[in-house]
């Protein structure tokens, strides 16, 4: 691709844009400084289509499916880490990695209820070297003991016990991550439990889930090292009629236990947006976790793009002054396109949306609203859409020594030629 924007042109365009934003009371330097502090948690499962490294050839289950067969899927931990490092080089800022338990590093198979920090030491070493934070997720799917469609809410006490042990082990690994890297690890619990058809008894599975969660969270862990989160869902493949861990269930549980609620952008009705739920939940919770995804008619986990839904989410975070209380992770898996590009496009889109929100004249807009001047509020919000946001974003990329514009595709294509196309 041909790129004509030189460093001096980018700086000149930024200078002009900076003046235009200043004329409506926006400090672009402060906006960029604030954005620099945002650490997105990239999801490891985009790089290998949620296969993991358990030495298992099992099929994906639990409502999880990937589509496409683009060349270059990571086949082992070393390849996944190399791919991630390429992605991080092309995303402005310093970011994190979100791991699933099934991505352990072990020369021999380890049952999920027997995983230990020792199986993740190489991840900690890698994260220290790259200055990445780590987050953690127990993996309650794609396993013989999840084949019934129920895990923590199973009627079988042996199955429940197995998955309780797995989640306890995952929390301890999360605490190990946080202590080793000196940044809190968010350990997020999601389960696929539910019924394909309408159940007779909705109550009992939820009582069993609560008992399981109570046991999992019984061990106190230092919040400087580990932050617990629970993630609800409207429905899944094979659980279309009833989901044990619904949003309502987990919202009540998170408030009671004072833990994080995870809201995934694809886990609600297609007409719902999680943006309006952010200020509501943060009225009662100290912090929340967001999984930024893009659903197309359902929880399809498309690559995040800069659309109205993403804009509404990031605006709510910034306008509510919630940046320090919201943990932002990406959650999608697209095997139909270059997997590294999927990370980069989704991350850059999320950061661009956050920057747009940071470039709003918040004080002026809030004063207009409080005084009842809705006409001026509307006019100013519309005027913002024509300001040269792109020049601010390009300058931010330049500041962070990452490619400006779509130039990042040059590096991705070169890596694809040199590495990805050689993978069978």
Question: What gap in Å lies between CA 289 and CA 274, rounded to an integer?
Answer: 11
Collect all residues with Cβ–Cβ distance below 8 Å to 284 and sequence separation of at least 6.
255
Question: What gap in Å lies between CA 209 and CA 213, rounded to an integer?
Answer: 6
Burial class (CB in 10 A: 0-12, 13-18, 19+), 245: buried
Question: What gap in Å lies between CA 71 and CA 339, rounded to an integer?
Answer: 9
Side-chain half-sphere CA neighbours of 131 within 13 A: 5
Q: Are 185 and 175 in contact (CB under 8 A)?
A: yes
Specify the residue for token string 């009833």. 242
Question: What gap in Å lies between CA 11 and CA 396, rounded to an integer?
Answer: 10
CA distances from 76 to 55, 106, 111 (A): 10, 11, 19
Residues labelled catalytic: 190, 231, 233, 264, 267, 291, 299, 301, 331
CA distances from 51 to 104, 139, 259, 292, 337 (A): 12, 11, 29, 21, 17
Nearest to 77 by CA among 24, 115, 113, 120: 120
Instruction: Show the tokens assigned to 340.
Output: 């590294």
């Amino acid at each position: 691709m041909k790129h004509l924007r030189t460093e001096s042109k980018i700086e000149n365009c930024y200078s002009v844009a900076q003046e235009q934003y200043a004329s409506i009371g926006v400090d672009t330097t402060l906006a960029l400084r604030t954005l620099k502090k945002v650490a997105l948690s990239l999801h490891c499962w985009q790089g290998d289509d949620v296969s993991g490294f358990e030495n298992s050839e099992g099929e994906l289950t639990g409502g999880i499916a990937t589509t496409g067969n683009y060349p270059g899927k990571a086949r082992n931990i070393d390849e996944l880490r190399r791919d991630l490092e390429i992605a991080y080089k092309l995303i402005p800022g310093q970011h994190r990695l979100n791991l699933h338990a099934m991505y352990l590093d072990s020369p021999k198979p380890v049952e999920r209820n027997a995983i230990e920090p020792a199986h993740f030491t190489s991840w900690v070493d890698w994260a220290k070297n790259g200055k990445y934070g780590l987050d953690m997720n127990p993996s309650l799917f794609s396993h013989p003991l999840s084949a019934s469609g129920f895990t923590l809410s199973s009627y079988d006490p042996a199955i429940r016990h197995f998955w309780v042990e797995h989640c306890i082990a995952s929390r301890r690994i999360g605490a190990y991550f946080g202590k080793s890297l000196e940044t809190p690890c968010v350990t997020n619990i999601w389960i696929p439990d539910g019924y394909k058809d309408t159940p007779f008894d909705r109550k009992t599975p939820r009582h069993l889930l609560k008992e399981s969660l109570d046991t999992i969270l019984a061990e106190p862990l230092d919040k400087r090292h580990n932050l617990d989160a629970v993630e609800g869902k409207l429905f899944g493949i094979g659980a279309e009629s009833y989901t044990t861990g619904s949003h309502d269930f987990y919202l009540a549980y998170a408030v009671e236990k004072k833990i994080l609620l995870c809201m995934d952008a694809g886990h609600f009705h297609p007409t719902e947006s999680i943006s309006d739920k952010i200020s509501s939940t943060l009225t009662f919770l100290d912090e929340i976790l967001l999984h930024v995804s893009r659903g197309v008619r359902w929880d399809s986990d498309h690559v995040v793009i800069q659309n109205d839904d993403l804009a509404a989410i990031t605006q709510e975070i910034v306008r509510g002054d919630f940046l320090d209380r919201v943990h932002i992770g990406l959650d999608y898996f697209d095997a139909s396109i270059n997997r590294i590009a999927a990370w980069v496009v989704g991350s850059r889109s999320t950061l661009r949306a956050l920057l747009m929100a940071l470039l709003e004249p918040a004080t002026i807009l809030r004063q207009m609203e409080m005084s009842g001047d809705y006409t001026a509020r509307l006019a100013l919000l519309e005027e913002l859409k024509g300001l040269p946001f792109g020049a601010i974003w390009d300058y931010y990329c330049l500041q962070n020594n990452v490619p400006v514009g779509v130039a990042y595709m040059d590096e991705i294509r070169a890596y694809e030629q040199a590495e990805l196309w050689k993978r069978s």
